[in-house]
């Protein structure tokens, strides 16, 4: 009898343990399912907000092509000069006419602020290569070899130029391919397939610096990305930061105002590259604001006033063409995880500005 009671107790205990394990597992599964539902709901809500903000950004670009309303109050400089509304599409965080959620950041980049690979003259490409290879210290032969590879890639035939690279070279690579043999690149990243260019532009955010869209041959410094300006002959890091700091305060209207920022010797190198044009091609970046309150990040910002307070590095983006206010934009490219250009404000203190050189 005692053995039977002991066996019953053991069975009851094991049953209780098994039931406890099953209940715990089911409870965990229910909690996980509930969290999944909440996360999916949050993701769906955020996605809807992002897509709404994209539409509002497109509407902003269409409205830019409408006649200005009578009595509209435009932004002014501290000296009372009217600022050109179209020049705000230089990557700054925008306040749209139709406001998106306060948790959403919208940035728009006019492609007149990028170097157009499909319109760049051969001489300018040579200057670009020279700067990347060290400027006056660049090896002339290396410059010519890379330039010849560019020429062979963008010409219309399979005839290899002096020290160039054509079909035979590319097909004999480990993963062979054929050269474009056309001056129109399909995507910016195509330049990395040209012999020597992957090493030449290593570490450069290519989509931030270059474009293949539109007919723009010059770069508008009011709209230029930091990545594009860092490649331009005549500009060093200090001058790039001063240009960004200057345009945060007022528009750069002409070459005489550029001369207030850029010394004469540098301006001579820079002049063939710059213009006052805008384009109808834009990159739209839309993403959720990511405000971190952790002590480590706060301490970093406090220690370095030029740190980028926006910790987002990838964003939903579209490249669009806007032809008018009564036509929807034409979408050329969509990327859910596009790398953002450098959005930091001008890294220069007020007392160190080089204005008035």
pLDDT 10s digits, 193-220: 999 999 999 999 999 999 999 999 999 9
**Count of beta carbons in the 10 Å neighbourhood of residue 9:** 10
Cα–Cα distance between 129 and 201 in angstroms, integer? Answer: 9
Pairing assessment for the beta strands 104-110 and 115-116 based on DSSP bridges: unpaired
Determine the pLDDT at residue 342.
94
Name the band, by pLDDT with cuts 50, 70 and 90, for residue 320.
very high
Which secondary-structure segment (H or E) carries 316? strand 314-321
What is the Cα Rg of the chain in Å? 28
Determine the pLDDT at residue 11.
78
Cα-Cα-Cα-Cα dihedral of 202, 207, 212, 213, to 10°? Answer: -170
Cα–Cα distance between 192 and 200 in angstroms, integer? Answer: 9
Cα–Cα distance between 319 and 332 in angstroms, integer? Answer: 5
> Is the confidence at residue 278, as pLDDT, over 80?
yes
User: To which residue do tokens 């955010």 refer?
Assistant: 205
What residue spans define the domains of the chain? Answer: 111-118+184-352
Determine the pLDDT at residue 47.
87
Among 310, 325, 336, smallest CA distance to 54 is for 336
Where is mean pLDDT largest: 22-31, 300-309, 313-322?
A: 313-322
pLDDT 10s digits, 53-107: 999 999 999 999 998 877 777 777 777 788 899 999 999 999 888 877 788 999 9
How large is the average pLDDT for residues 118-123? 96
Lowest-confidence region among 76-80, 173-177, 235-239: 76-80
pTM reported for the whole predicted model? 0.85
Determine the pLDDT at residue 243.
96
Pairing assessment for the beta strands 281-288 and 104-110 based on DSSP bridges: antiparallel
Determine the pLDDT at residue 296.
58
From the number of C-beta atoms within 10 Å of its C-beta (0-12, 13-18, 19+), residue 93 rates as exposed
Half-sphere exposure of 287 (CA within 13 A, CB side): 21
């Amino acid at each position: 009898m005692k053995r039977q009671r002991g066996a019953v107790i053991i069975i009851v205990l094991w049953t209780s343990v098994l039931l406890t394990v099953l209940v715990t597992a089911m409870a965990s599964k229910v909690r996980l399912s509930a969290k999944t539902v909440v996360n999916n709901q949050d993701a769906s809500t955020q996605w809807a907000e992002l897509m709404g903000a994209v539409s509002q950004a497109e509407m902003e670009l269409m409205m830019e092509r409408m006649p200005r309303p009578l009595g509209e109050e435009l932004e002014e400089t501290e000296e009372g000069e009217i600022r050109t509304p179209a020049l705000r599409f230089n990557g700054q965080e925008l306040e749209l006419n139709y406001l998106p959620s306060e948790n959403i950041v919208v940035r728009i980049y006019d492609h007149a602020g990028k170097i157009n690979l499909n319109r760049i003259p051969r001489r300018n490409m040579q200057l670009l290569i020279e700067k990347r290879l060290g400027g006056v210290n660049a090896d002339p032969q290396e410059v010519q070899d890379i330039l010849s590879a560019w020429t062979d890639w963008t010409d219309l035939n399979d005839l290899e130029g002096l020290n160039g690279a054509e079909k035979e070279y590319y097909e004999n690579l480990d993963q062979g391919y054929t050269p474009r043999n056309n001056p129109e690149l399909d995507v910016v990243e195509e330049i990395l397939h040209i012999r020597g260019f992957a090493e030449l532009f290593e570490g450069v955010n290519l989509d931030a610096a270059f474009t293949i869209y539109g007919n723009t041959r010059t770069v508008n410094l009011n709209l230029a990305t930091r990545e594009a300006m860092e490649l331009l002959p005549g500009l060093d890091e200090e001058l790039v930061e001063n240009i960004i700091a200057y345009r945060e305060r007022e528009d750069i209207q002409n070459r005489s105002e550029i001369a207030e920022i850029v010394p004469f010797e540098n301006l001579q190198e820079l002049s063939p590259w710059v213009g006052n044009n805008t384009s109808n091609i834009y990159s739209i970046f839309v993403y959720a604001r990511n405000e971190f309150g952790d002590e480590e990040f706060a301490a970093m910002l406090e220690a370095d006033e030029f740190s980028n307070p926006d910790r987002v590095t990838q964003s939903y983006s579209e490249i669009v063409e806007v032809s008018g206010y009564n036509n929807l934009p034409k979408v050329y490219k969509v990327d859910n995880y596009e790398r953002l250009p450098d959005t930091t404000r001008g890294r220069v203190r007020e007392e160190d500005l080089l204005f008035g050189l």
